[in-house]
Amino acid sequence: MPGPPRLRAMKITIFGATGAVGGECVVQCLEAGHEVTVLARTPAKLPAAIRDRVRVVEGDGLSAEDVERALTGAEATLFAIGVDKHSPEDLCTDVTRHILDAMPRLGVRRLVWCGGGSTLVEEDQVTLGARFVQFFARTFMGLRHRDKDHQYALLSDRTDVDWIGVRPLQIRTGPRRESYRVGFDSFSGLSSISFADCAHAMIAMLDGDVWRHKAPIIQY
């Protein structure tokens, strides 16, 4: 079985641990020997085997107080909250704002967050394929697209905080290959990545400054 990124053991708080990417982040962090805290509105949604191995803080990411409780004692944090049609407007943006405000006060060193490929950034190669990805997201996943755009804009203004982003494309269930591209290569609606490899890349970004204050695309 492929191994997790080799990093020193850290205390990591994970937001979105009951989702597909967040669940992979939890599993892979535990495999790597990290000490994990998760913030969950419904802890029962966590697999029983996971609940027994992590510190669970019951609460809501939209509450600044709950976010601070979850981040207390952490060295770094992984953001993997997803957006669906039932999510409030700017869910990811508002939770991220609470995280950014708490990090300097609590001494949390780094935030690695999962964004979306439909958010185009300055470094991208804006091809016809990239424009199609953006058009499709705006048209059929408007709530998610707006939120991820706003989240990136918020982070871009916070150079006082150590953050790194990753933007997956056509994210889906699949094996952890540990072989993928991270950067600003051209992409299209045919580009893809698995939940497992997205999580693998996020965990690897907990260390190193190659992508500091950047949000590269991840794709096969």
What the block records as the tokens of 64 is 């600044």
Quick one: pLDDT at residue 5?
A: 62
Cα–Cα distance measured from residue 61 to residue 163, given in angstroms and rounded to the nearest whole number: 18
Question: Is residue 78 pLDDT above 90, yes or no?
Answer: yes
Here the CATH number for the domain that contains residue 84 is 3.40.50.720
pLDDT-above-90 percentage for the chain = 94
Cα–Cα distance measured from residue 206 to residue 56, given in angstroms and rounded to the nearest whole number: 21
Residue 3 pLDDT class (50, 70, 90 cuts):
low
Residue 7 pLDDT class (50, 70, 90 cuts):
confident
Has residue 122 been placed in a domain? yes
Question: Is residue 163 pLDDT above 90, yes or no?
Answer: yes
Has residue 154 been placed in a domain? yes
Has residue 176 been placed in a domain? yes
Angle subtended by helix axes 128-140 and 142-156, to nearest 10: 120
Quick one: pLDDT at residue 19?
A: 95
Has residue 6 been placed in a domain? no
Average pLDDT over residues 17-36: 97
Quick one: pLDDT at residue 132?
A: 94
Has residue 118 been placed in a domain? yes
**Rg for the chain (alpha carbons), in Å?**
16
Quick one: pLDDT at residue 6?
A: 65
Tally the domains of the chain.
1
What the block records as the tokens of 166 is 């990753």
Contact between 167 and 117 under an 8 Å Cβ cutoff? The reply is: yes
Residue 8 pLDDT class (50, 70, 90 cuts):
confident
| Order of all β-strands in the sheet with 110-114 | 55-58, 35-40, 11-15, 76-79, 110-114, 163-168, 217-219, 181-183
Quick one: pLDDT at residue 40?
A: 96
Has residue 2 been placed in a domain? no
pLDDT per residue over 89-146, tens digit each?
A: 999 999 999 999 999 999 999 999 999 999 999 999 999 999 999 999 999 999 999 9
Contact between 4 and 29 under an 8 Å Cβ cutoff? The reply is: yes
Quick one: pLDDT at residue 35?
A: 98
Q: What is the mean pLDDT of the chain?
A: 95
Has residue 1 been placed in a domain? no
Question: Is residue 2 pLDDT above 60, yes or no?
Answer: no
Which domain does 135 fall in, by range?
11-219
pTM over 0.85: yes
Cα–Cα distance measured from residue 59 to residue 33, given in angstroms and rounded to the nearest whole number: 25
Has residue 5 been placed in a domain? no
